[in-house]
Structure 1
Amino acid sequence: MSSQGGRDAAPTPRTPFDRIGVAVLRELVETIVSGRIPQGGLFPPEAVLSQEFGVSRTVIRESMKRLQEKGMVTVAQGRGTHVNPMSSWNLLDPLVLTSLIGHDDALGILDDLSVVRGALEAAMAAGMAREHDEDGVARLRASFELMRASMEDSTAFREADVQFHLIVMELSGNLLAENVARVLFERALESTRYHGVDRARAFEMTMAEHEQILAAIEAGDPEAARAAMDAHITDSWERRRLPTAKRS
């Protein structure tokens, strides 16, 4: 609907969320993910939360709106704010995913993340092999050679390793898979649990796996590239996975 003069009505400006509001939102997400308020549970009234956090009711109200946007709660006037089942949460939301990984004592979320990441990156490796762009392959080989040159420097090696994967994502031609995989990858890299422990000869095995991926892409063999990438992500996670965290 247009306003007078034929101009569209300006959208209602959203309340800015300052650092205090961000901190409150993060704590509320942690409260849900940790189970302090379980799925199906009810949040305390707005006035109680305002007093507990020492912030205005406006900040609490805006935080609840943002939790609702993430699928974590349902706000019903007169019935309060209930925590939704996990199946409703936006698990790709950076704040939600970071919190889930942080509370993932059994590493189940990271196990699932590795499976999904493996499937997505395998599809993207196949896509890059199918396109077989010479400039792109040259970039990928340069990243691989940087890994080889950095094997005595763990920080540089890991940075080159990350770049190898980001190049495959970028040049896959699959923007949706790239977007989802980047979210998963970036949130995982923030977690010390995801980095796990380095086994003996871990870098050598990683190099061999990357070499198989590179060779398949250079050969223009999508299925070999798919298999090599999927195996690499699965096997490298199994090597790093902390032994104290047992699967249920």
Structure 2
Amino acid sequence: MPHSEPTAPARARRPIERIGATVLREFVQAIVTGEYAAGQVLPTEAELTSEFGVSRTVIRETMKRLQEKGMITVAQGRGTHVQPITSWNVLDPLVLSTMIENDRTLGILDDLSVVRGALEAEMAGDAAASVDDRARLVLRERMDRMAGAVDESSVFREADVEFHLAVMDLADNALAANIARALILHAVHSDRYLGQDPTRAFELTLAEHQAVVDAIDAGDREGARAAMREHILGSWQRRRLPTDKRSQ
């Protein structure tokens, strides 16, 4: 029989996509935290390749994805410039989650709550304007699930989110719902956003949700808007963690 050469074992290595995702996360983190400040020119492609220990292809793909997120601009002969926060796609999942994770003064979460309050208030009003028996049943089911979970925080929080998503669906405003949905689904994974619940927090939340349901059930657009806005802003202020104002 002919002699066969031994086959060398395959080297274990990280998939290229995983390497690229890691480099991208590091860049987004660096821009969000100000390590790379707005207006700053990033190191050259060769320097970044050396720094991260990856190929030029990975660096080029990372720059392309950062451009898509509005975090950098690449100008031939002028380098790669970091963009200010006003240019970022803050609804991009990676950008938004990184901003929330690094929101030490809670300013981003304050703004997020204001935007949520405005959008969801309008959707609550729209839901009231077109309320029917099916909508009433949906909201009653969501309320019943929350009421049955006041002693199970994780289940209650999940039911709370489902209530808000149900109101969005009833409003039939796809654009507003997509924006608000992105905000709420990323925020609820942040310990800073969950904050610290005051005494009888879930009971307070139930009462505020009931006020929203009552207004929608009565077809009261203005009442539904006010109840939803007051709930979102009020519940955030109740659980908002204290911050050092000197760092703001």
Q: TM-score, normalised by structure 2?
A: 0.91
Q: Give the partner amino acid of 1:230.
A: R
Q: Report the equivalent of 1:46.
A: 45
Q: Percent identity?
A: 60
Cα deviation for residue 20 of structure 1 reads 1.3
Distance across 1 between alignment mates of 2:243 and 2:77: 46
Distance across 1 between alignment mates of 2:56 and 2:36: 20
SS of 1:47's partner is helix
SS of 1:18's partner is helix
1:125 touches 1:222 (CA, 8 Å); kept in 2? yes
Q: C-alpha offsets along residues 126-168 of structure 1, whole Å, 9 cap, x if unaligned?
A: 1111110211221111110111111111111111111100100
Q: C-alpha offsets along residues 112-139 of structure 1, whole Å, 9 cap, x if unaligned?
A: 0000000000001111111102112211
1:197 touches 1:241 (CA, 8 Å); kept in 2? yes
After TM superposition, list the pairs within 5 Å mapping 1:92-111 onto structure 2.
Answer: 92-111=91-110
After TM superposition, list the pairs within 5 Å mapping 1:167-182 onto structure 2.
Answer: 167-182=166-181
1:38 touches 1:83 (CA, 8 Å); kept in 2? yes
Report the RMSD for the aligned CA atoms in angstroms.
1.4
SS of 1:198's partner is coil
Q: Gaps (5+ residues) in structure 2?
A: 1-14
Q: C-alpha offsets along residues 210-243 of structure 1, whole Å, 9 cap, x if unaligned?
A: 1100101111111100000000000000011002
Cα deviation for residue 51 of structure 1 reads 1.6
Cα deviation for residue 246 of structure 1 reads 3.9
Distance across 2 between alignment mates of 1:133 and 1:177: 21
1:105 touches 1:245 (CA, 8 Å); kept in 2? no
Q: TM-score, normalised by structure 1?
A: 0.91
Q: Report the equivalent of 2:120.
A: 121
Q: Gaps (5+ residues) in structure 1?
A: 1-15
After TM superposition, list the pairs within 5 Å mapping 1:28-47 onto structure 2.
Answer: 28-47=27-46
- Alpha carbons of structure 1 residues 17 and 221: separation in structure 2 relative to 1, 3 Å: farther
Cα deviation for residue 244 of structure 1 reads 3.1
SS of 2:171's partner is coil
Q: Report the equivalent of 2:234.
A: 235
Cα deviation for residue 17 of structure 1 reads 7.2
SS of 1:38's partner is coil
Q: Report the equivalent of 1:162.
A: 161
Q: Give the partner amino acid of 1:45.
A: T
Q: C-alpha offsets along residues 164-207 of structure 1, whole Å, 9 cap, x if unaligned?
A: 00100111111100000011111111211000001011111111
SS of 2:80's partner is strand
1:216 touches 1:222 (CA, 8 Å); kept in 2? yes
Q: Report the equivalent of 1:13.
A: none
1:117 touches 1:181 (CA, 8 Å); kept in 2? yes
2:205 matches 1:206: yes
Distance across 2 between alignment mates of 1:17 and 1:52: 17
